[in-house]
Amino acid sequence: MNRVQTEGKGIRPIKMSGGNDLSYYTYLKDVRYQVLAHFEWNDQREDLVADRDENKHHNIALRSVQKGGRRDIFLGTRECQGYVEPCEFGSGEGFYDGYGEWNMGYMFHGFTYPDENEDHDFIARFWSPVMSDGIIEFERPESTKLDGRIIRKNQSVKEFALGSNLQPVGEE
């Protein structure tokens, strides 16, 4: 929504060997986004079929956004905390409305977790997004436009059992 701006800050991080160091970091400033999101069932998780209640998960997400999110969110690093509030996607004027295309460069896209692929690998995904008139449309995780880097191969997947570590539908 806002123009992309950065600012440099001198930071004194603690060294692992003791003492301090001086580093200069570049941070985004005055950041404001609108996010349009949806959820999809993980077809790899047959043990969670009984929990596929769209109404339950939709209401959990709504309550979460109204309360500012389920967990703290960070824009890259812990000291860059973000805040969540409900909005109507597309409402309000954004700096990049009518701007055209902007290639954002090569960056992190997301993780593919072991329970989301047949080989049970933990994968980091990267891409080169293009913002068009203020909107970035994320590629789907399985898109061939993404670079995948395997971090760990063949990881174990936590099993869920109804009544043990999974609540029955209707009990949140």
Please report the pLDDT score of residue 109 as a whole number. Answer: 95
Tens-of-pLDDT digits for all 172 residues of the chain?
999 999 999 988 888 888 888 899 888 899 999 999 998 999 888 888 988 999 999 999 999 999 988 888 887 777 888 889 999 999 999 999 999 999 999 999 999 999 999 899 999 999 999 999 999 999 999 999 999 999 999 999 887 776 776 666 665 5
pLDDT tens digit string along 75-125? 777 788 888 999 999 999 999 999 999 999 999 999 999 999 989 999 999
If you write DSSP's letter for every residue of 12-79 in order, what string do you get? -PBPTTSSB--EEEEEEES------------TT-GGGGGG--HHHHHHHHHHHHHTT-SS-EESSSTT
Q: Please give the pLDDT value at position 80.
A: 83
Global model pTM greater than 0.75: no
CA atoms within 13 A of residue 160's CA, in its CB half-sphere: 14
The pLDDT assigned to 158 comes to 80
Return the pLDDT at 77: 75
pLDDT of residue 39: 87
Question: In this structure, what DSSP letter does residue 153 have?
Answer: S
Identify the pLDDT of residue 166. 67
Q: Which residues, in sequence order, are bridge partners of residue 10? A: 24
